[in-house]
Structure 1
Amino acid sequence: MTLPNLLIVGAQKSGTTWLHRALAKSKNFWGSDPKELNFWNQKKRNIEEYKKYFADAPPEITYVYESTPTYLRLPGKEVDIAKNIKEGLGDIPLLLMIRDPRHRYLSAYTHHMLKGRLELVEEITLISDEFLMLSLGLYAKMLSHYKNYFSKIYVHTYEELLESPSGLFERICAELSVKSDLKEKDLLFRANDKNIKKRSAGIDKLPVLSAEANQSLCDFYREDVENMSKLINRDLSHWLN
């Protein structure tokens, strides 16, 4: 039975749902349904049960994949996700989507707020690591750990997605050595539309970060953003403005 030879490992709130759906439109990729299997982040795992999610993948497909943003974690007391993936699937290519960690924090906070886990507010002043809202934006630390196990980690930004979905898709295809077979119109769709969730929650507008919270986040993430710029050889200094 088939196991994935490609994973989208994160980061949360950075476009992974869009990427999962976009790749699934291509003849070169076959993605799991549901998207997030949360397998390699578990202490106890049944590989035979995991294989069942990929049983319908056509044999001629180049890449079979799943997308679980919670895979992007540093090792815990009992689970090292990167090590688990490497031991289970080998040195497969990984896709990583990241975004300005301040915006990721805002998106994560809004997500938990709309889910009823945090108080409904119009302006976010609280800086908290509840639900790992802060920690999950420390990309450099997590990527550095993954680099100990994997040689092919392709990193892209949420800004790339906003600027040109088709350009992002083409770059990923080139990295994975497959032909880009989708048109721009195939990739112009939204995923996880918060405006729909906003109406469901009965609020008129989504929250914003206060100026003080924005500055606190800049200060908190500064060193990690600078390290991430070096890791991926890309200027991310605008994230600190």
Structure 2
Amino acid sequence: MTLPNLLIVGAAKSGTTSLHNYLNQHPDIFMCKPKEPHFLISKEIGINRIPNAINKKRQYIDLFKSAKNKKYVGESSVLYLAYPNISIKNIKKHLNDQVKIIIMLRNPVQRAYSGYQHVKRYNSVENLSFDQALKKSEFRYSNNSAITPASRYLELGNYYKQVKLFKQKFEFVHVIIYDDYLNHFNIEMEKVFDFLNLDKVHINTQTKHMVGGWEWNNLLFKKLLLENSILKKIFKNLIPKKRYRKYLRDFILNMTTRSIQEMDPQTENWLKNYYKDDIIKLSKLINRNLNHWIS
């Protein structure tokens, strides 16, 4: 039985998808598909909140059965970081305390806006403005058992306590700052391979992962493409071949989407003040100057 000994635990919207796929290029690493099984928190958080999560251990084990003779077997469920008490308990229960943990952190102000845009893009329920969603995110989450944890736009960026708990409970924790990952990719990948005690390999970065930067400008087509509506079923019956449906879907997306507008400066300043104390404590915890996140 093969189980993970490498976890990318978050944060959401911080480059974890690309790192997951780049690590898969290393001959000594197997990263599972789907990338985010969320098995280690799914029962406690609720399958309604994470409908694509795996909640049976046998299914979880099956994700890694193709990992033959690999030094590292991993997965990248980004909500583990947001629920440290639950995930840490279950990592120790189902895996062990020698698991290697990678944490990727993005400026929480930018992460919140990116997270909102992602949920708005792929979840038909999100219909509030960013300002409204920030104010109501925790109330909505507490009062609706089907609301995705990804909509906790503020809370997911309170990194200090999350990172502190992982560093306290595990010996092997490596933190990557998203800015460094973008601007000094080769150096950051070398640090990852050093952390894993692996030989360095060339990483092909031609394929882009989880490319965002767009939003809907036609809510009718958003509902058509996202919800399991009668129109969507008719659409599938009329065009049975998945390949042709994808061509048409991409055409519709090009016609009904637009580039994301920049965050309102007042909202950005409010978020900087909100996260300021947490960022200062995080900076000391990981010994990394993060003043550029709040300046």
Mark yes or no: TM-score above 0.5.
Answer: yes
C-alpha distance in 2 between matches for 1:74 and 1:3: 21
| Counterpart residue number, 2:211 | 193
In structure 2, distance between residues paired with 1:58 and 1:47 = 19
In 1, distance between residues paired with 2:83 and 2:258?
37
Larger Rg: 2
Residue number among 58, 66, 82 corresponding to 1:48 in the alignment: 58
* Residue matched to 1:6: 6
Among 104, 107, 121, which residue is 1:114 paired with? 121
Instruction: Give, in whole Å, the separation in 2 of the partners of 1:129 and 1:7.
Output: 31
Q: Partner of 1:238: helix, strand, or coil? A: helix
- In 1, are the aligned partners of 2:214 and 2:259 still within 8 Å (CA)? no
Moved over 6 A (4+): none
**Pair 1:66-2:75 in alignment:** yes
How far 1:128 moved relative to its partner? 3.3
Deviation at 1:27, TM superposition (A): 0.7
Q: Distance in 2 between matches of 1:142 and 1:157?
A: 15
Deviations 1:3-32 (A, max 9, x none): 111101000000010010000011121010
- 5 Å-filtered alignment, 1:137-176, equals 137-176=157-196
How many Å separate the matches in 1 of 2:207 and 2:135?
32
**Matching residue of 1:239:** 293
Structure 2 CA distance for aligned equivalents of residues 159 and 136 of structure 1 = 18
Q: For 2:270, what is the secondary structure of its paired residue? A: helix
Q: TM-score, normalised by structure 2?
A: 0.73
User: What CA deviation, in whole Å up to 9, does each residue of 1:153-200 have, x standing for no partner?
Assistant: 1000111221132222111001111011124xx124321111477672
Q: Closer, same or farther in 2 for the Cα pair 1:164/1:9, shift >3 Å? A: same
| Stretches of structure 1 lacking an aligned partner (at least 5 in a row) | none
Once structures 1 and 2 are overlaid, which stretch shifts more, 142-151 or 227-236?
142-151
SS at match of 1:33: coil
Change (3 A) 1:217 1:210: same
Cα drift, residue 214 of structure 1: 0.5
1:105 and 2:94 correspond: no
Looking at structure 2, the residues matched to 226 and 85 of structure 1 have their Cα atoms a distance apart, in angstroms, of: 28
Distance 2:154 2:177 in 1: 18
1:145 CA displacement: 2.0
Q: Which has the higher helix share?
A: 2
1:81 aligns with 2:135: no
Match of 1:204 in 2: 258
Name the SS of the counterpart of 1:230 in structure 2.
helix
Distance of 2:190 and 2:214 partners within structure 1? 29
Specify whether residues 74 and 38 from structure 1 end up closer, same or farther in structure 2 by C-alpha distance, changes over 3 A only.
closer
Which runs of 5 or more residues in structure 2 are unaligned? 45-54, 138-150, 217-251
Instruction: Decide whether the 8 Å contact of 2:11 with 2:82 is kept in 1.
Output: no
Q: 1:190 to 1:96 in 2, by over 3 A?
A: same
Query: Is 2:197 the partner of 1:177?
Result: yes
Q: Judge conservation of contact 1:165–1:188 (CA < 8 Å) in 2.
A: no
Give the total of aligned pairs: 233
3-state SS in 1 of match to 2:73: strand
Give the secondary structure class of the aligned counterpart of 2:33: coil
Residues 214 and 257, structure 2, Cα contact 8 Å, conserved in 1: no
